[in-house]
Structure 1
Amino acid sequence: MNDWKRKWIMMFSPEQTTIGFVGVGVMGASMATHLHHAGYEVHLYTRTKAKAKPLLEKGMHWADSPSELAKQCQCIVTIVGYPRDVEEIYLGENGLLHHASPGCVLIDMTTSSPLLAKRIYKAAAERGMHALDAPVSGGDVGARNAALSIMVGGDAEVFQRAEPILRLMGSNIIRQGEAGAGQHTKMVNQIAIASNMIGVCEALVYAKSAGLDPASVLNSIETGAAGSWSLQHLAPRIIAGRFEPGFFVKHFIKDMGIALQSAEDMAIRLPGLELARKLYGELADAGFEDEGTHALYKLWEMNK
């Protein structure tokens, strides 16, 4: 490795780097905590300051706006709700791109639009900044355990610089290509999950209807050919009647909408995803949009 590249990577050491973190929800709070525990000075912004209180009590710092945060940080991580939130945070009048300094690395870990990721990348480059789209998978458990899968799009050199920071939050970190590639990869992830979750719910409904012990059945099938992350981690929550969100139904509906729009742009049809989007829409209409994605099981419970 030549000297300039070594210096480029070392610039993100805890002694030399202040990290901004926007969004401290179900996953973001744990992710910011890992950065803080690694010795980084972490500045926070979220629309509701009360959500940040537990992190501020740990010694993190508050910023009153994205613009204030941007002026203090060499690297900024964002994980918010919807593409419209990403657009406002980055491109709005008080957004990060209008107030961060040249050289700043911006890492959006929201699941968002591939086209928006490309817009942010281009706008950042025009201002001498660097942008990565780096959505994650693994839910609240992965965030707490720093075991998230992180799918990255952007320049290889910038990814190399940011990778030590990403490794504080995840365990499976792969650059998939240029700007937008991380978001496209996350769409692949969500497509696979959507149909799988239908299968998990139907399997448990069948087991219960057949008079079987669902927990015992799960022990038999979770390590065989039917095994999946959802079966291993979310099926036990369904059996226990625990539907708190590791990932919100409303956010999953948003993700499926992005995937379906991207599929339409590529002239492909995804009937399994179309069905999942319809079922999750029914679940949200029934009042469960703020529960975890495994709450899909409740549709069968309601329709018995």
Structure 2
Amino acid sequence: MSDRITLETGELSATVALAGAELVGLTGADGAELLWQGGAEWPRRAPVLFPIVGRLAGDTLRHAGRSLRMTQHGFARDSLFRLVEATGTRAVLRLEDDERTRALFPFAFRLELAFAAEGPTLAVTATVTNPGTQVLPFGLGAHPGFRWPLVDGVPKHDHAIEFGAAESGEALSVRDGLLGPPRPIPLRGTVLPLSEALFADDALVLPSVRSRSLRYVARNADGSTARALRFSWEGYRDLGLWSKPGGASFLCVEPWYSMASPEGWDGEFADKPGLAHLAPGEHRAMTWRVTL
């Protein structure tokens, strides 16, 4: 069995790896690759963030008197998922707790990633289920990295994020992977012009973001659209935008539920601000979509 699955519609082709349930390729009808393909600046493409988003203080998860090592963004992105369904336009991959995960994260869980392609749209639904007997606390996030510039020949500074709703004009700062105080962002109405300087201090974090969609757009010199991706999400609460400080040829658009630990917080994991909690037998689904 191949370690990759390709979904095709004629308007879109998406390739998913069993390693990390990671989207590793995304092309439109013209064959142009729109996903960052990894490099020295950042080796990943679209990792799944689970059971945490961001960092914990000291990379340590505290539970019931135990201190367990949990590195940034959790272990799902480095885990091998099992393929449970595959057609030409749909694939479902599953990760469940086992002896290895319980040594890092002492909770029962089932995480499924369903990829569905229809026309020019790829939908990615993550479903977390609690098959255990205790409450399951967790964070969940998507981290797809798109090409920046999105079109060859269009300068990076001629790209923008166009939010679907008015945002506050502030984002939380990130310092050594932890959440710092708010800082202003150069929002013009619902439009955030993109520049390398925007990410000089790491990611922009928008907690409880108002928008449920945005456009990532590249514009020609005359202001016309050279290419745009429409991005939307359901179930996720927060949003991160990131490129490598110092400049890199990618932009990550990241819907999240949960964020990194705030500076100065280092308590019981289940009490971490912003986590989701599932009672035994419950499940929760969150979806993001990209339309080419």
Band the TM-score falls in, shorter-chain normalisation: under 0.3
Normalising to structure 1: TM-score of the pair?
0.25
Q: Of Structure 1 and Structure 2, which has the larger fraction of its residues in helix? A: 1
Normalising to structure 2: TM-score of the pair?
0.26
Q: Of Structure 1 and Structure 2, which has the larger fraction of its residues in strand? A: 2
